[in-house]
């Protein structure tokens, strides 16, 4: 099974034998891939009980839980890397979630859909309606994505949370990733999504 492109890019950032927590791990595809290829000691947290059950049945250590409420129970700095892939926009309090992740892990990886992409900007301008595309494919009133942001917005949030951006990558429409300078205007207009490797600064 081939990994979703953003997950493959995240996997490339994970060192061998790392201790990782995948927040919102879905069906456990990334965890399984990292266990097989990087021998990680991986754990998952997932809101959907069905997905949790499926992951555990495949032998992955996953618990049912909510990033918004349950990260507080983890001790500080116990994981090498905490991952939040395409999930931050669905949390109730992205700032609190990011802060908790920076506390729990020595490094944090966040990937997000970029609401600043030109198609979305143009879509809103042209149609006057909430933009939809293949990653954000819900009506505005029933979308789980309640906190969408642009790359520039996230860069600001990272600074507010006292996080240093160590690496940043743009996700291109072709499913490729490209190193980017997070504060330049180009990626915020052209990238469909982004991946950040962050370190909490204390």
17 forms part of the interface with other proteins (CB under 8 A): no
**Rounded CA gap, 82 and 42, in Å?**
10
Of 62 and 197, CB closest to other proteins: 62
Compose the 78-117 pattern: x for residues touching other proteins by CB under 8 A, - for all others.
x---------------------------------------
Q: Which residues have CB under 8 Å from 151's CB, separation 6+?
A: 112, 114, 116, 182, 187, 188, 191, 194
Is 156 in contact with 76 (CB distance < 8 Å)?
A: no
Three-state DSSP state, 108: strand
Compose the 62-81 pattern: x for residues touching other proteins by CB under 8 A, - for all others.
xxxx----x--xxx--x---
Of 15 and 59, CB closest to other proteins: 59
Site for other proteins in 26-45 (CB under 8 A): 41, 43
The closest of 167, 163, 7, 157 to 93, measured between CA atoms, is 157
1 forms part of the interface with other proteins (CB under 8 A): no
**Rounded CA gap, 99 and 115, in Å?**
22
The least CB distance from residue 66 to other proteins, in Å, is 11
Judged by CB under 8 A, the number of residues near other proteins is 21
Of 75 and 128, CB closest to other proteins: 75
Distance from chain centroid for Cα 102: 13
What is the binding site for other proteins (CB under 8 A)?
41, 43, 49, 52-53, 55-65, 70, 73-75, 78
């Amino acid at each position: 099974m081939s990994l979703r492109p953003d997950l493959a890019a995240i996997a490339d950032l994970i060192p061998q034998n790392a201790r990782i927590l995948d927040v919102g791990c879905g069906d456990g595809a990334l965890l399984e891939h990292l266990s097989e290829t990087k021998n990680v000691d991986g754990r998952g947290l997932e809101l959907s009980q069905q997905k949790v059950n499926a992951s555990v049945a495949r032998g992955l250590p996953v618990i049912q839980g909510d990033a918004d409420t349950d990260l507080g129970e983890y001790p500080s700095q116990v994981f090498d890397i905490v991952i939040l892939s395409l999930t931050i926009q669905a949390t109730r309090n992205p700032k609190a979630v990011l802060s908790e992740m920076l506390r729990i892990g020595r490094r944090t990886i966040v990937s997000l859909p970029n609401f600043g992409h030109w198609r979305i900007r143009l879509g809103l301008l042209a149609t006057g309606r909430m933009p939809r595309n293949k990653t954000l494919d819900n009506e505005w009133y029933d979308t789980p994505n309640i906190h969408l942001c642009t790359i520039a917005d996230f860069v600001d949030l990272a600074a507010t949370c006292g996080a240093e951006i160590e690496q940043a990558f743009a996700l291109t429409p072709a499913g490729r990733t490209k190193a980017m300078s997070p504060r330049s205007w180009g990626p915020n207009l052209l990238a469909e999504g982004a991946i950040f490797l962050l370190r909490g600064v204390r």
